[in-house]
A and B are shown apart, each in its own frame.
Chain A
Amino acid sequence: DIQMTQSPSTLSASVGDTVTITCRASESISSWLAWYQQKPGKAPKLLIFKASSLETGVPSRFSGSGSGTEFTLTISSLHPDDFATYYCHQYDTFLSSFGQGTKLEIK
């Protein structure tokens, strides 16, 4: 099974900062990677699919890149609403898996 490793586990930043979250796959998954945002008590929300494609309605300050085993999610000019937990998700096969999550906190 494919293991996904996210870093960092926790990230402290301020409104207006630009932050980057990294996700590594234990084997190549081409570009079959998605990113989700989750706020406390809520279901996750799809932000990016196929590594770099922005889901409809998601602000353009969110961007994704990478292929193979290394992927990044970048959030530019952080808004107060962006402080949440972020997960990567590989779907190279039906046996999909998630990273352990990155909690983005206000500094």
Chain B
Amino acid sequence: EVQLVESGGDLVQPGGSLRLSCAASGFTFNKNAMSWVRQAPGKGLEWVSTITDSGAGTYYADSVKGRFTISRDNSKNTLYLHVMNLRAEDTAVYYCVKSWVGGTTPNAFDIWGHGTMVAVSS
């Protein structure tokens, strides 16, 4: 069974940092691009970041550029999102998502994790 399991979400103060992790199983992890998508409480979906299969290419939404870093460890089948200088508007459920096919071209997101909650508040 294809599965993505996120962890690392927490309540943090403004300006704080976290590392989100996503453990992947049931597919060949190093063949797929991976992404993070977030959803603020009661709001819509917002694409956050994507990394290509090898990790050579990384892409960010303007709202997080310079503060968030996406990475992957293909030997551990794990995706990461290092989030820094957190703001109240970063409060959201963060979903780990798998691209449908391919690792070096954009694609639809066919598998989603259950999400991990990040809350930024003093």
Interface residues of A (CB under 8 A from B): 1, 32, 34, 36, 38, 43-46, 49-50, 55, 87, 89, 91-101
Contacts and interface: CB of A to CB of B under 8 A. Distances in A.
A87 B108 contact: no
B113 A43 contact: yes
B57 A94 contact: yes
A36 B52 CA distance: 22
Nearest to A46: B110
Interface in B27-66: 33, 35, 37, 44-47, 50, 52, 57, 59, 61-62
Contacts of A100: 44
A55 B112 CA distance: 14
Interface of B: 33, 35, 37, 44-47, 50, 52, 57, 59, 61-62, 95, 100, 106-110, 112-115
Contacts of B45: 36, 38, 44, 87, 89, 98, 101
A96 B50 contact: yes
Nearest to B33: A94
A92 B106 contact: yes
A96 B106 contact: yes
Nearest to B46: A98
Given A94-B50, A96-B35, 11 more contacts: A44-B45, A44-B109, A44-B112, A87-B44, A92-B106, A94-B59, A95-B47, A96-B50, A96-B106, A98-B47, A100-B44
